């Protein structure tokens, strides 16, 4: 089918290349294209729409604002007060809420990362940062400097910032004998420890270690809890600021309020994507002992998005009122069991992993081009009316990023379509073996 294309499109436009439909409206889990065709949205703005599209609680909160303040820089507002009072008790800090500080950033997640890196440098007086293979933290020069993808770095990075990349435990693609969770964890920790403690390591103590408790763009890879705990301990030992980027993993996506909840406390946590209830917002949160910067150390025009604060407050209240964390856990159980069964029924899938409604379905790494296989499955899904994305190494991971409030019926619809799509691709492959590197 020939799809329309806008003549003014930039060459850097990305998602619409494989999902070329022109959409005209949306409701709940569904998008509708301009021909009225309905699509199940399992991409949801890269996980931003935690309650799906146009949730009544968010719509009514926005409609309830009369004479809204459209922009207020960082002048104080009632909307901000209400939002902050709802968010503070949910943050992954064990201290009292009045010991937590929030800094609202420019409206993209990347600016929260820029702010966190800056604050760590100010706090420690050091300049270096440790980041991880598979990381993605945004497109600004600071956030890009700690993001690992060669593609993104090669096209846009102008500064060689003082960043050291460390391996992130990813047992599925680690070489033997490190291809189990325990061995991968041990290997990565030993590497880190040697860099920090060997006085001939060649690497100075960093200001910060930045990590996603569960990597998103890297391929939906959860960090083992043991790894995060030891990382925390090493940061404490060496006076390093631990920045947890929860931009994608936070706000219930992993089945807890944050990916780190119940595992470790950050020094700084970066929050964005879903926090504005679908409107742009980004912020960092930290304990008051980190609050060492000075007025205007991190500014920006659009830091006081009132609609985002109003919608974000409604979002947080709805997740609580509708007990959606329990729904995330229940849907995870349903879907991960079914996905593992599907994986057993095909030669295409190498691993199913993840937490909550943040799952990764990785095509067998032994294929010559696992990304092509994943893309073919995605195309079959779209033909069945389901929008989803691939990511991770070689684009080989089908990423589940659906709303937190999906029902078991919606999950079932997705699972059946996925099973069918995989089987169709499998039947149409020349043969699983001819595509495999080492059959």
Site for ligand PLP in 259-318 (CB under 6 A): 272
* CA distances (Å), origin 212, targets 103, 221, 224, 376: 19, 9, 11, 28
> In the bound complex, what is the minimum distance in angstroms from residue 216's beta carbon to ligand PLP?
4
Q: Which of 80, 114, 212, 426 binds ligand PLP (CB under 6 A)?
A: 212
Terminal C-alpha separation, the chain: 35
> In the bound complex, what is the minimum distance in angstroms from residue 348's beta carbon to ligand PLP?
26
What value, to the nearest 5°, has the Cα angle with vertex 349 and ends 263 and 399?
50
Instruction: Pick the stretch among 3-11, 76-84, 102-110, 192-200 that binds ligand PLP (CB under 6 A).
Output: 102-110
Residue 52 or 110: the one with the smaller Cβ distance to ligand PLP is 110
Residue 51 or 401: the one with the smaller Cβ distance to ligand PLP is 401
Instruction: Pick the stretch among 212-220, 321-329, 358-366, 382-390 that binds ligand PLP (CB under 6 A).
Output: 212-220
Please give the Cα distance from 400 to 395 (Å, whole number).
14
Residue 272 or 310: the one with the smaller Cβ distance to ligand PLP is 272
> In the bound complex, what is the minimum distance in angstroms from residue 247's beta carbon to ligand PLP?
4
Please give the Cα distance from 52 to 436 (Å, whole number).
38
Q: Which of 21, 108, 124, 318 binds ligand PLP (CB under 6 A)?
A: 108
Q: Which of 19, 146, 241, 247 binds ligand PLP (CB under 6 A)?
A: 247
Contacts of 219 (CB under 8 A, 6+ apart): 134, 170, 360, 362, 391, 392, 393, 396, 397, 399
Please give the Cα distance from 310 to 67 (Å, whole number).
13
Query: What's the 3-state SS for 192-252?
Result: HHHHHHCCCCCCCCCCEEEECCEECCCCCEECCHHHHHHHHHHHHHHCCEEEEECCCCCCC
Provide the CA 43 distance to its chain's centre, in angstroms: 12
Q: Which of 41, 80, 114, 245 binds ligand PLP (CB under 6 A)?
A: 245
> In the bound complex, what is the minimum distance in angstroms from residue 228's beta carbon to ligand PLP?
15
272: left (phi over 0), alpha (psi -120 to 50) or beta: beta
C-beta of residue 47 within 8 angstroms of C-beta of residue 358: yes
Residue 138 or 312: the one with the smaller Cβ distance to ligand PLP is 138
**Under the criterion CB under 6 A, does residue 46 sit at the interface with ligand PLP?**
yes
Residue 138 or 252: the one with the smaller Cβ distance to ligand PLP is 138
Residue 110 or 171: the one with the smaller Cβ distance to ligand PLP is 110
Site for ligand PLP in 117-146 (CB under 6 A): 136-138
Here the tokens at position 397 are: 């991971």
> In the bound complex, what is the minimum distance in angstroms from residue 322's beta carbon to ligand PLP?
25
Residue 171 or 219: the one with the smaller Cβ distance to ligand PLP is 219
Positive or negative: CA dihedral 405, 407, 413, 415: positive
Here the tokens at position 289 are: 């002992």
> In the bound complex, what is the minimum distance in angstroms from residue 137's beta carbon to ligand PLP?
5
Q: What is the DSSP string of 88-157?
A: GGGSS--S-GGGEEEEE-SSSHHHHHHHHHHHHHHHHS---EEEETT----SSHHHHHT---HHHHHHH-
Q: Which of 41, 80, 114, 217 binds ligand PLP (CB under 6 A)?
A: 217
- Quick one: which of 243, 297, 262 has its CA closest to 94? 262
Size of the site for ligand PLP (CB under 6 A): 15
Instruction: Pick the stretch among 25-33, 198-206, 244-252, 363-371 that binds ligand PLP (CB under 6 A).
Output: 244-252
Residues that bind ligand PLP (CB under 6 A): 46, 108-110, 113, 136-138, 212, 216-217, 245, 247-248, 272
């Amino acid at each position: 089918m020939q799809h329309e294309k806008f003549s003014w499109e930039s060459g850097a436009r990305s998602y619409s290349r494989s999902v070329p439909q022109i959409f005209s409206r949306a409701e709940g889990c569904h998008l509708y294209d301009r021909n009225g065709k309905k699509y199940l949205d399992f991409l949801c703005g890269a996980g931003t729409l935690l309650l799906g599209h146009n949730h009544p609680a968010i719509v009514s909160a926005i409609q309830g604002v009369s004479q809204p303040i459209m922009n207020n820089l960082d002048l104080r507002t009632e909307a901000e007060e209400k939002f902050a009072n709802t968010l503070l008790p949910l943050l992954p800090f064990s201290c009292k809420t009045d010991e937590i500080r929030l800094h609202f950033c420019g409206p993209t997640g990347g600016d929260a990362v820029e702010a966190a890196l800056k604050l760590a440098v100010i706090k420690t007086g050091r300049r270096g940062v440790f980041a991880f293979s598979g990381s993605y933290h945004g497109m600004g020069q600071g956030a890009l400097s700690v993001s690992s993808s060669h593609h993104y770095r090669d096209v846009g990075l102008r500064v060689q910032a003082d960043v050291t990349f460390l391996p992130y435990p990813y047992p599925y693609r680690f070489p033997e004998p490190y291809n189990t969770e325990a061995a991968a964890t041990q290997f990565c920790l030993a590497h880190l420890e040697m860099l920090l403690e060997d006085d001939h390591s060649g690497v100075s103590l960093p200001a910060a270690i930045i990590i996603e408790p569960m990597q998103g763009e890297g391929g939906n890879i959860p960090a083992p809890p043991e790894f995060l705990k030891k990382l925390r301990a090493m940061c404490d030992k060496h006076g390093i600021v631990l920045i947890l980027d929860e931009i994608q993993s936070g706000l219930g996506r992993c089945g807890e309020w944050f990916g780190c909840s119940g595992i470790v406390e950050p020094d700084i946590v970066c929050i964005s994507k879903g926090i504005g209830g679908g409107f742009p917002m980004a912020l960092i949160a930290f304990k008051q002992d980190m609050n060492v910067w000075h007025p205007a150390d991190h500014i920006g025009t659009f830091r006081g998005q009132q609609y985002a604060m109003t919608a974000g407050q409604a979002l947080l209240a709805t997740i609580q009122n509708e007990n959606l964390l329990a729904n995330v856990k229940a849907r995870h159980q349903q879907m991960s069991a079914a996905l593992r069964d599907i994986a057993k029924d095909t030669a295409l899938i190498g691993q199913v992993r993840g937490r909550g409604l943040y799952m990764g379905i990785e095509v067998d790494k032994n294929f010559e081009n696992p990304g092509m296989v994943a893309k073919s499955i995605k195309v079959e899904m779209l033909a069945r009316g389901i929008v989803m994305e691939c990511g991770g190494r070689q684009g080989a991971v089908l990423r589940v990023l659906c709303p937190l409030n999906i029902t078991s019926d919606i999950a079932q619809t997705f699972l059946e379509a996925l099973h069918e799509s995989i089987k169709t691709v499998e039947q149409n492959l020349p043969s699983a073996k001819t595509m495999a590197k080492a059959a």
